[in-house]
């Protein structure tokens, strides 16, 4: 197997996967992750596979992506065999395998479409994390929790700092076929504004400067969702922090413009 040496990124995959497994958020081979690489020199090019979507902002760049069927608990032990390096052609229309695992995640179209949007709108976010936390999937089964505003307002109002960390709220994409380009394109659209997107009945997609940073945001949302379910289990219909109080908190931290 051709080797690659992105020690920092491999460690990010390793640590984040360990935590995903520990939390039980990526069951079996559920979930996938990628990191965009800017500087690619002296690497063999084999970029002949037609992309399902044009990704002009990724032209000449590369992506480290978890392989199909790879398990978080195994990536957490030893990431290298489970992660592949893929390069995008200079015309942004093709890609090719460079090194490592050569059988990419079924969500490759989503990862590429989202990296293309991130590179354009928020280039500092280089990492994409997708996983299946039960408390978040369960939210999609609450009547009326089928849009970004309702979910953001009801869930992020349950803990004082949640909205501070996620002032824009949570993006939402209605159910789409796993692995489909539609899922990727709709997520890419949401991610120009949000750092988290809930995939209806499926799971969450988070972006960050690193996978650990994406995991942080996911944790914040998941914690609020758990508060929601604990209250519901106790028979309490959550009221949440008022909008006026939320605005006051965001204003105090200079984040009201992102609300």
Name the site residues for Zn ion (rule: CB under 5 A). 203
- Is 176 a binding residue for ligand 2HA by CB under 6 A? The answer is no
Q: What are the residues whose beta carbons fall under 8 Å from the beta carbon of 103, sequence distance 6 or more?
A: 67, 68, 69, 84
The interface with ligand 2HA within residues 89-108 (CB under 6 A) comprises 106-107
Q: Which of 14, 190, 34, 39 is closest to 126 using CA atoms?
A: 34
With contacts defined by CB under 6 A, name the span among 23-31, 86-94, 137-145, 240-248 that binds ligand 2HA.
23-31
Strand partners, 96: 87
Q: Is the distance from CB of 157 to CB of 211 less than 8 angstroms?
A: no
- Is 32 a binding residue for ligand 2HA by CB under 6 A? The answer is yes
Q: Is 64 helix (H, G, I), strand (E, B) or coil?
A: strand
Contact string 194-233 vs ligand 2HA (x = CB under 6 A): ----------------------------------------
49: number of Cβ within 10 Å: 15
With contacts defined by CB under 6 A, name the span among 24-32, 83-91, 159-167, 227-235 that binds ligand 2HA.
24-32
Angstrom distances, CA of residue 45 to CA of 32, 48, 80, 144: 24, 9, 20, 48
- Is 29 a binding residue for ligand 2HA by CB under 6 A? The answer is yes
# chain residues binding ligand 2HA, by CB under 6 A: 8
Residues within the interface to ligand 2HA (CB under 6 A)? 29-32, 106-107, 130, 178
């Amino acid at each position: 197997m051709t080797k690659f040496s992105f020690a920092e990124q491999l460690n990010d995959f390793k640590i984040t996967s360990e935590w995903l497994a520990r939390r039980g958020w990526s069951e079996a081979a559920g979930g996938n992750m990628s990191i965009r690489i800017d500087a690619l020199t002296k690497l063999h090019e084999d970029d002949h596979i037609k992309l399902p979507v044009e990704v002009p902002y990724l032209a000449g760049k590369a992506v480290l992506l978890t392989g199909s069927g790879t398990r978080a608990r195994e990536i957490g032990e030893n990431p290298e065999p489970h992660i592949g390096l893929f390069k995008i052609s200079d015309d942004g229309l093709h890609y090719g395998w460079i090194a490592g695992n050569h059988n990419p995640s079924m969500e490759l179209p989503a990862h590429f479409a989202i990296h293309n949007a991130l590179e354009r709108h928020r280039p500092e976010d280089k990492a994409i994390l997708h996983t299946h936390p039960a408390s978040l999937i369960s939210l999609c089964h609450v009547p009326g929790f089928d849009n970004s505003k309702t979910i953001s307002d009801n869930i992020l109002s349950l803990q004082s700092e949640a909205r501070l960390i996620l002032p824009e709220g949570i993006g939402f994409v209605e159910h789409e076929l796993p692995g489909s380009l539609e899922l990727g394109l709709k997520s890419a659209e949401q991610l120009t504004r949000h750092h988290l997107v809930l995939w209806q009945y499926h799971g969450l997609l988070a972006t960050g400067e690193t996978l650990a940073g994406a995991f942080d945001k996911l944790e914040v949302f998941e914690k609020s969702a758990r508060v929601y379910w604990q209250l519901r289990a106790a028979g309490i219909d959550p009221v949440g922090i008022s909008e006026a109080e939320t605005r006051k908190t965001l204003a105090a931290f200079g984040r009201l413009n992102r609300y």
